[in-house]
Structure 1
Amino acid sequence: MNTKNIILNLIGLKCPEPIMVIRKTIRKIKQHETILVLSDDPSTKRDIPYFCNFMKHQLIEHFTHVKPYRYLLKKGIV
């Protein structure tokens, strides 16, 4: 399967902008494609896992012990 991997550099954006950009981007990709999110906003530690759970996307990995925070998301079933 040929999948597309997108990198979103959201460094400098503050809540609610990171989630808004992620949501807009995830709508445009195909199911099972991935997005690597880079962020320095502490609210993403809470917001991104909640967003993935609520919208049925998969949070594959997350590294939040140093900035920039990194989140690997896979688009779920729409």
Structure 2
Amino acid sequence: MKNKNNAILNLIGLRCPEPIMIIRKKLRNMKLNQKILVLSDDPSTTRDIPNFCYFMNHTLLEFEIKIKPYRYLLKKGL
């Protein structure tokens, strides 16, 4: 997963709903089409982050959930 010029958000150790709230706040302050790499070890993020992206019109470009920490590459949408 490429992280060149991407913001990195380390959410390891945080549990639901904190990861989603922090991601939402971070994306609000980013420009359209900027990318963010999210690191998390909360199993609920495997469900919550894809749903969040879908409902908030962001794009989940890549994800790796086989081993912890889970990695998600998001692109800010509308």
Give the TM interval when normalised to the shorter protein.
over 0.9
Q: Which runs of 4+ in 1 moved over 6 A?
A: none
Q: TM-score, normalised by structure 1?
A: 0.93
Q: Post-superposition shift, 1:44?
A: 0.1
Q: Within 5 Å, which residues of 2 pair with 1:12-23?
A: 12-23=13-24
| TM-superposition CA deviations, 1:48-73 (whole Å, max 9, x none) | 00000000000000000000000000
Q: Within 5 Å, which residues of 2 pair with 1:1-78?
A: 5-77=6-78
- Within 1, Cα distance between the matches of 2:35 and 2:20? 15
Tell me, what secondary structure is at the counterpart of 2:62? strand
Query: Structure 2: which 5+ residue stretches go unaligned?
Result: none
Q: Post-superposition shift, 1:5?
A: 1.7
* AA of the residue aligned to 1:67: K
Q: Post-superposition shift, 1:14?
A: 0.1
**How many residue pairs were aligned?**
74
Query: Structure 1: which 5+ residue stretches go unaligned?
Result: none
- Percent identity reads 68
CA RMSD, Structure 1 to Structure 2 (Å): 0.7
Q: TM-score, normalised by structure 2?
A: 0.93
